[in-house]
Homo-oligomer: A and B are copies of this chain.
């Protein structure tokens, strides 16, 4: 061991249950997922965080490619005039746009993209001519800038974030709507199958939908502090943009038509949701299917058995290569230090291996989520690890699902609404859907609508709990991120 003093590892110093916000910040910073940038409102995604985004993009990219979507890349800068083509869209983004200095007065002002509908659809209007060019399914992975004024929250609220934005064009509304929901379903797979986070699929209300869309679909995830997080969106744009940007095609009927469009996006916010839902007082807990390095092997080193133990550790790592297993053989840190570090960084499984273990052809397997320790034979270790990782995935999902289910409350009166909100619940109630009524609820209670769940059936003769007017659909309300 080196003669230089090893600094003490400072873990997370507050409890998740006591100061959720500070706990979150500490997990992000101390697990080295991200850091504040010297430019106010911007974040640096560090390698341990970027690895997560790479895992998410690889999973989603393969799935959307299988649906015939192709990636492209459109310019970072958007001319001011483009924002004016679709009025609702323009107003939706106006306060958040960052503009470039002009070099000459005669030049048009240019904005950094807050989203790319306008610059993409201007090109589409040149590329699309015939029904043969449809459907056109294009996606881009990109950075976008929205000039948030609220306090920065790493991954959740920053002035720049990474995302994908899919923008597809179809000859018919039926086809467009079907795929708008199909892409929402792909996002559901990201949450359920990769991140072990349960979500509620629904439609946004008029007040909360994307400016310029006919309908916005969403997945809402439920956070441990009793707030919902919008996990992605998929917009039915109708013909709003194809009319505004003059996109037309000659149909099989030899007539000119405006096509139908959708757009759908998922951003680095998803990493924030993942941290909040699964992590604990010891730091990050990575859902095993997402973790690139699912197993860390920590050899317990004594001078007289060092070579034997290290050799055995490397042999295990090799057998567990498909799980990205690695041996932490740094001799400048103690085993205890390493245990704490990998717990802080969320590695799903730890294997401890000492000289006695090697003698008995066994190891100690420790699960990150439960802390449970098992003595496991090295014969057949691969099967055991595979089993434990899957069990951990399902345990994380089940725990989050229980919290979600336990939090969902149907109310009949605004008094019940207020008391449920105070108890940090998701409130399900009959609601008329009008923006005015929604604004009143928000003003009274601070709660906003999450969505109208897709599995809700219309209620005949129902009335809005708030205003008493006709209401056929149960809508979810809560505080939100």
Contacts and interface: CB of A to CB of B under 8 A. Distances in A.
A70 B98 contact: no
Contacts of A110: 39
Interface stretch (A75-83, A385-393, A394-402, A405-413): A75-83
A360 interface: no
Most chain-B CB neighbours within 10 Å: which of A42, A77, A130, A250?
Answer: A77
A148 to B, nearest CB: 13
Interface in A62-83: 70-79, 82
Interface stretch (A44-52, A208-216, A439-447, A456-464): A44-52
A35 B123 contact: yes
Given A38-B79, A38-B119, A130-B4, A73 B101 contact: no
B54 A71 contact: yes
Contact of A100 (B7, B100, B332): B100
A123 B44 contact: yes
A237 interface: no
B71 A47 contact: yes
A171 to B, nearest CB: 13
Determine how many copies of this chain the complex contains.
2
Nearest to A251: B4
Contacts of A42: 75-77
Interface of A is mostly: mixed
Given A4-B130, A101-B99, A39 B250 contact: no
B73 A162 contact: yes
A18 interface: no
A39 B54 CA distance: 30
Contacts of A77: 39, 42, 145, 160
A44 B71 contact: no
Contact of A44 (B49, B50, B75): B75
A333 to B, nearest CB: 8
A252 interface: yes
A132 B331 CA distance: 11
Contacts of A129: 7
B73 A45 contact: yes
Q: Size band of the A side of the interface?
A: 35 or more
Contacts of A160: 75-77
A129 B35 CA distance: 16
A265 B21 CA distance: 38
A2 interface: yes
A159 to B, nearest CB: 8
A143 B79 CA distance: 18
Nearest to A54: B71
B4 A39 contact: no
Interface string A95-112: 000111100000000101
A423 interface: no
A225 interface: no
B119 A74 contact: no
A386 to B, nearest CB: 24
Nearest to A118: B38
A125 to B, nearest CB: 10
Given A35-B126, A39-B110, A132-B332, 13 more contacts: A37-B123, A44-B72, A44-B74, A45-B74, A49-B72, A50-B72, A50-B73, A51-B71, A53-B73, A76-B112, A100-B100, A100-B112, A142-B143
13 contacts: A7-B129, A7-B130, A35-B126, A38-B79, A42-B76, A42-B77, A44-B74, A47-B72, A50-B72, A51-B71, A53-B73, A73-B143, A112-B112
Would you list the 4 A-B pairs with minimal beta carbon distance, nearest first? A47-B70, A42-B75, A45-B73, A99-B101
